[in-house]
Amino acid sequence: MIKTSFKQGKLAIWFRALVLSYLFSVVVSAQESSVRLEKSQNIFFYPRLNLQGGYDTNEPGDYWGLADRGARTQLVLEWFVKDEAHQQRGFTKLIEPASWNMKFAVELDPTEDKQEQFDTRLRILDTWIKFATKWDRTNLWFGHKSIPYGHNPKLDPSHAFMPNQAELDLSFGRDTGLFFKTPVSKGLDLECSATLGKGDTWDYHGGWLLTSRIGSPTFKTNEVGLFALGGKIQETSGALTVDGNLTTIYRVGADWIYKHRELWKVVNQISVGENSSDGDNDRFVLSILNSIEWYIHPKWTLGSTHSLRYEDLYGSNSQEQTKGAFFGTISYAVRRNIRFRVNPFIEYHDSTGDRNTGVMFQLCFGCGLIR
């Protein structure tokens, strides 16, 4: 009797062990199946439509029309792809493609000094390939993207009415070429770019631009940085290159950004330098940008930007020019990806006494999406 009960006890223990093993294997296999079935998304497509027009005293006729400053009326198509093998592996042996982006816009730009006539043009926006490396936070990009001319982080900057410092100074904030970013220390990042100096235009007349910035990483509450650039570019301050003539530019500057949680953000930038074109019209250039944004509600945002550009033409007949503008924006998120903005502005020219005022009404479908 004792032996029989002992054998039965051992059989019961083995039976329980087999049941537990079976249940464990089922759970593990289910988890593995779940991992296989719930593959992370690696392809993203973003269509966006931006409509903007309003009242501008710089417009001909009755002063009403589509925007010819800030974000134009445009249809944007963007594809963003993460490399699936790199995404699954989670590390890089040496250097390999990690992601790529294609972003183009079909844009309506009012013809200058003509009412109800528009130029339709194709613009290349953020289009690049990103290469990850085995070194921590060190990446390379090849293509068309923002140059490291200070920092001015925004939500969907290509459609925000308030411009950044690079665009106000150089007339473009993106360029085509090679971009590099790496940490110098725990609290400092180095960004460099070697680009063609042509901005978003398709034409190229032999320009070049070298830009660099060293400063705080973008995830810091306080960001402070120093930047410098030099080269020959095709346009500056809105003046297009004529007959292939290039403008030689040099700039040094600093930027400071403070972000208070998700409530408000302050951006300050200053740069000084020189513009020259074939030895003629050499001039000293000073640019200042001050911007603040308040997130007063999950749906409401207020913003204000003041920009100032001072030029002093060298020579016996020295001529000073001061141009500035106040930009404002009141933004309402109709839905997560639909935003309505009211953008008042005042533009002044101290050298000529001109004053331009206006207000733009902006409706953007597909803005604010985060990949």
Whole-angstrom Cα distance, residue 71 to residue 173?
13
Average pLDDT over every residue of 118-131: 89
Instruction: State the average pLDDT for the chain.
Output: 82
Summarised one tens digit per residue, pLDDT across range 77-96 is 999 999 887 777 777 788 88
Q: Strand, helix or coil at 330?
A: strand
Q: Is the pLDDT of residue 17 over 60?
A: no
Average pLDDT over every residue of 181-191: 92
Q: Is 18 exposed, middle or buried (0-12, 13-18, 19+ CB in 10 A)?
A: exposed
What are the CA-CA distances from residue 216 to residues 150, 180, 191, 226, 292 (Å)? Answer: 11, 16, 11, 10, 19
Whole-angstrom Cα distance, residue 46 to residue 48?
6
Whole-angstrom Cα distance, residue 269 to residue 215?
13
Average pLDDT over every residue of 282-302: 90
Summarised one tens digit per residue, pLDDT across range 147-157 is 999 876 665 66
Whole-angstrom Cα distance, residue 265 to residue 220?
12
Q: Please count the other Cβ atoms lying within 10 Å of the Cβ belonging to residue 192.
A: 16
Beta strands 118-124 and 127-133: pairing type?
unpaired
What's the token pair of residue 198? 């042509």
Q: Please count the other Cβ atoms lying within 10 Å of the Cβ belonging to residue 221.
A: 10
Summarised one tens digit per residue, pLDDT across range 360-370 is 999 999 876 55
In DSSP terms, which residues pair with 117 in a beta bridge? none
What's the token pair of residue 65? 């029309």
Which range among 42-51, 116-125, 310-319 shows the weakest confidence by mean pLDDT? 310-319
Summarised one tens digit per residue, pLDDT across range 26-44 is 544 544 444 444 567 888 8
Taking the domains of the chain in order of start, what are their residue ranges? 1-38, 45-365
Average pLDDT over every residue of 134-150: 92
Beta strands 73-82 and 95-110: pairing type?
antiparallel
**Topology classification of domain 45-365:** Porin (2.40.160)
Band of pLDDT at residue 11, cut at 50, 70 and 90:
low
In DSSP terms, which residues pair with 271 in a beta bridge? 253, 287
Structure confidence at residue 149 (pLDDT): 92
pTM of the full predicted structure?
0.81
Q: Is the pLDDT of residue 240 over 50?
A: no
Max CA pair span of the chain: 122
Q: Please count the other Cβ atoms lying within 10 Å of the Cβ belonging to residue 99.
A: 20
Residue 33: partners with Cβ closer than 8 Å, 6 or more residues away: none
What's the token pair of residue 3? 């032996």
Structure confidence at residue 128 (pLDDT): 96
Residue 115: partners with Cβ closer than 8 Å, 6 or more residues away: 60, 61, 65
Q: Is the dihedral of CA 182, 188, 191, 192 positive or negative?
A: negative
